[in-house]
Amino acid sequence: MSIISIISWVIIFAFVAWFIWNYFRVRRAAKYISNAEFENMMRGAQIVDLRSPNEFRRKHILGARNLPSEQFKASVSALRKDKPVLLYDNTRGQLVARAVLTLKKAGYKDLYVLKNGLDYWNGKIKEKN
């Protein structure tokens, strides 16, 4: 086995290990919930849409506030730590993972993520016609 081959395998292994570690770290920090659970929790919680302002204007879950991922760290102080935070994006991508880890690091404890994102949401929405 050549040195290049060994280095390639080490890099691949490191990438896979990082991905798995990050996946479990996010899963420990937030609970992924179904549409029904999300809808039941909405009344007493803070609903955060992580998508871009344009996407938010076109369509969002009724009652959500837009904290785009690009400005999320600067906007964290707008959220209360004593109320649950419900997060979503389109399909539960990396935006959610980064937001969850940022909130956890800032001391937020009640973090929930819409399991399949807005694309599969069947509750009330506000849409621009």
Q: What is the SS3 assignment for 101?
A: helix
CATH classification code of 3-127: 3.40.250.10
Q: What is the pLDDT of residue 82?
A: 96
What is the distance between the alpha carbons of residues 66 and 50, in angstroms, rounded to a whole number? 6
Residue 48: strand pairing partners: 65, 87
Task: Assign residue 76 a region (left: φ > 0; alpha: ψ between -120 and 50; beta: otherwise).
Answer: alpha
Name, in order, each residue with C-beta under 8 angstroms of 6's C-beta and a sequence gap of 6 or more: none
pLDDT in tens, 45-97: 999 999 999 999 999 999 999 999 888 989 999 999 999 999 999 876 778 88
Output the average pLDDT for the chain.
90
| Burial of 63 (C-beta count, 10 Å sphere; 0-12/13-18/19+) | middle
Identify the CA nearest to 112 among candidates 56, 61, 59.
Answer: 61
- 57: enclosing H helix or E strand: helix 53-58
Percent of the chain with pLDDT over 70: 97
| pLDDT for residue 92 | 62
Both tokens of 51, joined, read 């998508």
Q: pTM of the prediction?
A: 0.82
